C-alpha cells in the first residue's frame, strides 16, 4: 500500500500569538514549530498501517525550508521519504492544488492528513484534494482500517459517529483516536538524516489574501464567589450575565 | 450578489447554526442587492423548510435525503451553477467542511472558514475570520468569482421574523457517487443535548477523579438543559466518550455559558472554549490558570460546589 501523508508545520500549541509590520504578518520570532497535531495522528496511523501491511509512507509538506525539522521528524517517526513543495502555504485552495498536482499519477492508495491545521483551522484541504483527484474524501476520521481494497472508517458526525465502508484510493482528514502520537526513537532520528527529501517548485495560485490580523479584546477581571455561597452564582448568571 | 446558503437539517428542522448561516446569507444578499436561496438536503416537511424565510431566505431548494456525503457535495456544486450563485454560506461543521471543500475544488472557489462578521463589499469581498482556535482574527479577501464561507457558530445574533419562503423540491442525479461509500452504522448520543450546538455546556476535567464520580456534573447539566463535555485526558482515559472532548484537538464550542469543573485551563483546552460568551470555573486550586480566562470563579471542591449549584438552579 502506497500512502501519502500531508503535514503542516504550525506554531506549538502553547505559543503566544502576536503580529508585526502593522498587523500584516504573524510574528515568528521565538516561536517553536511542530507537526500539526492532527497531521501527527494521520502520520502515526499511516506508519501503523505500513508496519502491518507493508508498503510505503511518503510525507509531503507545502512550505519553505524552515519546515524541514518537522519533515525530518516525520521521517524519524517512520515515513520512508519526503517531498517539500517550496512555497509559503497561502490558502486552502492553493495548498490542496499543490498536493493534488504532486499526487496525480503517482498511484497513492491512501492520502491522509489532519482534519484541519491548528493555525488557520480551515478544515477543507482534504476535500479539495479529493475533488481535484476524483477520489472520495471523508473527515474527521477517528478509526481507519484497510482490508485489501476495502477501507473501513468511523467518522465524527454531530454528536456521534458514523461507520462507513469505502474503497482505495481515498483521501481522509484524521483526528484522534485514530492512533496515538508517536515519539521518534534514537534509531529513527539517525535514519531520518539520510532518507530522501525532494524539493519541488510550486505551481498553484491562491484565491484568498490576508489583509491584516488582529487580536481579540482582553478579557475583563474574573468575579470570585465564595464556595460556601456557590448557589448565589446561579442568580448572577441569571440577572447579571443574563445567560440563564 | 446571488447568495446560496447550505442549511443542515436535524430531526426534521433547520439546525440552529444553519439558521445563523441563513440570517448571515440574507444580510449579504440585501447588502449587495441579491437573492438569498437556501439549499437543504435531508428530511423535513415543507412547513419546516419554509421557516427559512423567518431568517430572511427568499427561496428554499430541497433535495430529499441522501446518505452519502459525496452526493451532498455534488448537489451543492450543481445548485451553485444552476442558480448562478457567487456567494455560498454554511455553518461551520464536520458536514459543511466536507461539502464546501469539494465544492471549492469543483468550482475553483476561494474559501474562508470560521467567519465572524459580515463582509466588506465596498472594494472586493473581505471577511473577518477567527484563526488560531479563537486566539486571533484575519481580515481575508477572497479574489475568486465564487466565494465560499463557513460561519463560526454562535457569533451571528439572529432576529427571526415571520415570513416564510416558497419551497421547491429538486431532483439531482447523484448515482455517479453511489459507489464511493456505504454507511454501515450511525451511533448518536440519544436524548442528550448536542455539544456543538448547545447554549450551555458543563465540562469536567481530571479533577472529577474518575468516571464513577460524574453524577453531580450530569445532575447540573440536566437541571440546566446543558450538554456535557470533558478535557482531553478525561477522554483519553475513557472516562467519557471521545466526542465530548473539547479543545484544540477536540470539539470547538461557543456556548453562551461554559462551566468548567476540575479543569486546569491548559492553553490547548482554552483554544476550544475561548469563544464561549461566559465562562465559569470551579477549581480547588486558586492558582489554576483557567481563572484568568474566566468571568466567574469558585475556589472549592467540585463535589461540594456542584450539588449547591444544582439545588440553586432547581430553585429558580
Ligand atoms: C498538542 C496538544 C494538544 C492538546 N489538546 C487538548 C485539547 O484539545 N483539549 C484538552 O482539554 N487538552 C488538550 N491537551 C492537554 C492539555 O495540555 C492538558 O494536559 C489538559 O487540558 C489537562 O486536563 P485537565 O485540566 O482535565 O487535567 P489537569 O491539568 O490535571 O487539571 C485538573 C484540575 O482539577 C483540579 N482539581 C483536582 N481535584 C479537584 C476537586 N476535587 N475540586 C476542584 N478542582 C479539582 C486541579 O486543581 C487541576 O487544576 C493537549 C496537549 C497537547 C500537547
Residues B104 and B246 in one domain: no
Residues B121 and B260 in one domain: no
| pLDDT reported for residue B190 | 64
Tell me if B252 is assigned to some domain: yes
CATH of the domain at B220: 3.40.50.1220
Q: Give the nearest chain B residue to A213 (CA atoms).
A: B138
Chain A positions touching B8 (Cβ under 8 A) are 158
| pLDDT reported for residue A205 | 94
CATH of the domain at A117: 3.40.50.620
Range of the domain at A47: 2-217
The average pLDDT across B72-86 equals 96
Ranges of chain A with pLDDT below 70: none
Tell me if B195 is assigned to some domain: no
CATH of the domain at B134: 3.40.50.620
Distance CA A216, CA B133 (A): 12
The average pLDDT across B160-169 equals 96
Tell me if A237 is assigned to some domain: no
Tell me if B149 is assigned to some domain: yes
Residues at CB less than 6 angstroms from ligand 1: A 13, 37; B 205-207, 231-234, 247-250, 262-264, 266, 268-269, 272, 283-285, 288, 301-303
| A141 and A174 Cβ atoms separated by less than 8 Å | yes
Residues B241 and B163 in one domain: no
Distance CA B104, CA B78 (A): 12
Its sign, for the CA torsion B234, A163, A132, B81, is negative
Tens digit of each residue's pLDDT (9 = 90 or more) over B170-189: 999 988 888 788 999 988 87
Mutation for B interface: A36, A93, A103, most B CBs within 10 A: A93
Residues B127 and B208 in one domain: no
Tell me if A225 is assigned to some domain: no
Tell me if A234 is assigned to some domain: no
Residues B112 and B206 in one domain: no
| pLDDT reported for residue B34 | 93
Residues B209 and B170 in one domain: no
Chain A closest-CA separation from residue B99 CA (Å): 8
| pLDDT reported for residue B187 | 86
| A171 and A111 Cβ atoms separated by less than 8 Å | yes
Q: Quick check: B110 and A234 CB within 8 A?
A: no
Residues B19 and B122 in one domain: yes
Tell me if B185 is assigned to some domain: no
The average pLDDT across B280-302 equals 97
- State whether residue B198 is helix, strand or coil: coil
**B253 CA → ligand 1 middle, Å:** 17
Range of the domain at B127: 3-177
Mean model confidence pLDDT for chain B: 94
* Domains identified in chain A, total number: 1
| pLDDT reported for residue B68 | 84
The ipTM assigned to this model is 0.93
Tell me if A239 is assigned to some domain: no
Q: Quick check: A207 and B277 CB within 8 A?
A: no
Residues B220 and B118 in one domain: no
Task: Assess whether pLDDT exceeds 70 at residue B191.
Answer: no
- Residue ending a domain, among B143, B177, B211, is B177
Tell me if A25 is assigned to some domain: yes
* Domains identified in chain B, total number: 2
**B232 CA → ligand 1 middle, Å:** 7
Q: Quick check: B114 and A121 CB within 8 A?
A: yes
CB pairs under 8 A between A and B: 275
Q: Buried (b) or exposed (e) across A112-131, using 16+ Cβ within 10 A?
A: bbbbbbbbbbbbbbbbbbbb
| pLDDT reported for residue B175 | 87
Tens digit of each residue's pLDDT (9 = 90 or more) over A50-88: 999 999 999 999 999 999 999 999 999 999 999 999 999
Nearest CA to ligand 1 atom 48: B264
Percent of chain B with pLDDT over 90: 84
Amino acid at each position: 500500500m502506497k500512502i501519502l501523508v500531508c503535514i503542516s508545520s504550525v506554531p506549538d500549541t502553547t505559543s503566544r500569538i502576536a503580529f508585526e509590520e502593522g498587523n500584516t504578518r504573524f510574528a515568528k520570532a521565538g516561536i517553536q514549530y511542530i507537526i500539526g497535531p492532527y497531521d501527527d495522528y494521520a502520520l502515526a496511523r499511516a506508519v501503523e498501517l505500513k508496519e502491518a501491511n507493508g508498503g510505503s509512507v511518503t510525507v509531503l509538506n507545502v512550505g519553505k525550508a524552515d519546515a524541514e525539522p518537522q519533515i525530518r521528524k516525520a521521517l524519524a517517526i517512520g515515513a520512508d521519504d519526503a517531498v517539500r513543495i517550496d512555497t509559503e502555504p497561502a490558502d486552502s485552495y492553493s495548498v490542496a492544488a499543490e498536493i493534488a498536482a504532486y499526487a496525480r499519477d503517482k498511484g497513492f492508495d491512501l492520502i491522509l492528513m489532519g482534519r484541519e491545521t491548528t493555525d488557520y483551522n480551515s478544515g477543507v484541504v482534504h476535500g479539495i484534494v479529493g475533488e481535484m483527484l476524483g477520489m472520495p474524501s471523508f473527515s474527521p476520521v477517528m478509526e481507519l482500517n484497510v482490508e485489501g481494497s476495502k477501507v473501513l472508517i468511523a467518522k465524527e458526525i454531530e454528536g456521534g459517529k458514523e461507520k462507513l465502508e469505502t474503497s482505495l484510493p481515498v483521501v481522509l482528514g484524521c483526528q484522534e483516536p485514530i492512533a496515538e502520537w508517536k515519539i521518534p526513537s534514537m534509531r529513527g532520528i539517525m535514519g531520518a538524516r539520510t532518507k530522501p527529501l525532494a524539493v519541488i517548485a510550486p505551481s498553484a495560485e491562491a484565491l484568498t489574501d490576508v489583509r491584516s490580523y488582529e487580536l481579540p479584546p482582553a478579557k475583563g477581571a474574573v468575579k470570585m464567589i465564595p464556595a460556601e455561597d456557590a448557589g448565589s452564582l446561579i442568580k448572577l448568571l441569571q440577572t447579571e450575565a443574563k445567560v440563564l | 450578489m446571488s447568495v446560496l446558503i447550505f442549511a443542515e437539517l436535524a430531526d426534521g428542522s433547520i439546525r440552529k447554526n444553519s439558521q445563523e448561516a441563513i440570517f448571515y446569507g440574507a444580510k449579504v444578499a440585501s447588502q449587495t442587492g441579491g437573492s438569498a436561496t437556501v439549499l437543504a438536503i435531508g428530511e423535513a416537511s415543507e412547513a419546516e423548510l419554509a421557516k427559512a424565510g423567518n431568517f430572511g431566505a427568499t427561496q428554499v431548494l430541497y433535495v430529499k435525503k441522501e446518505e452519502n456525503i459525496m452526493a451532498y457535495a455534488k448537489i451543492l456544486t450543481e445548485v451553485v451553477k444552476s442558480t448562478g450563485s457567487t456567494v455560498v454560506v454554511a455553518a461551520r461543521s464536520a458536514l459543511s467542511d466536507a461539502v464546501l471543500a469539494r465544492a471549492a475544488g469543483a468550482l475553483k472557489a476561494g474559501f474562508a472558514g470560521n467567519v465572524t462578521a459580515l463582509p466588506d463589499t465596498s472594494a472586493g469581498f473581505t471577511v473577518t475570520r477567527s484563526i488560531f482556535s479563537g486566539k486571533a482574527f484575519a481580515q481575508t479577501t477572497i479574489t475568486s468569482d465564487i466565494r465560499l464561507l463557513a460561519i463560526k457558530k454562535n457569533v451571528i445574533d439572529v432576529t427571526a421574523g415571520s415570513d416564510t419562503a416558497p419551497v421547491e423540491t429538486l431532483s439531482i442525479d447523484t448515482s455517479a457517487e453511489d459507489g464511493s461509500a456505504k454507511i454501515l452504522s450511525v451511533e448518536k448520543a440519544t436524548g442528550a443535548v448536542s455539544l456543538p450546538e448547545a447554549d450551555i455546556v458543563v465540562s469536567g476535567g481530571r479533577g472529577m477523579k474518575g468516571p464513577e464520580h460524574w453524577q453531580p456534573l450530569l445532575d447540573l447539566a440536566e437541571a440546566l438543559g446543558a450538554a456535557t463535555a470533558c478535557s482531553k485526558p478525561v477522554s483519553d482515559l475513557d472516562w467519557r466518550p471521545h466526542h465530548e472532548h473539547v479543545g484544540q484537538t477536540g470539539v470547538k464550542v461557543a456556548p453562551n455559558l461554559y462551566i468548567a469543573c476540575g479543569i486546569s485551563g491548559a492553553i490547548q483546552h482554552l483554544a476550544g472554549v475561548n469563544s464561549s460568551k461566559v465562562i465559569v470555573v470551579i477549581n480547588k486550586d486558586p492558582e489554576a490558570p483557567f481563572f484568568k480566562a474566566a468571568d466567574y470563579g469558585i475556589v472549592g471542591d467540585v463535589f461540594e460546589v456542584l450539588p449547591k449549584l444544582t439545588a440553586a438552579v432547581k430553585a429558580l
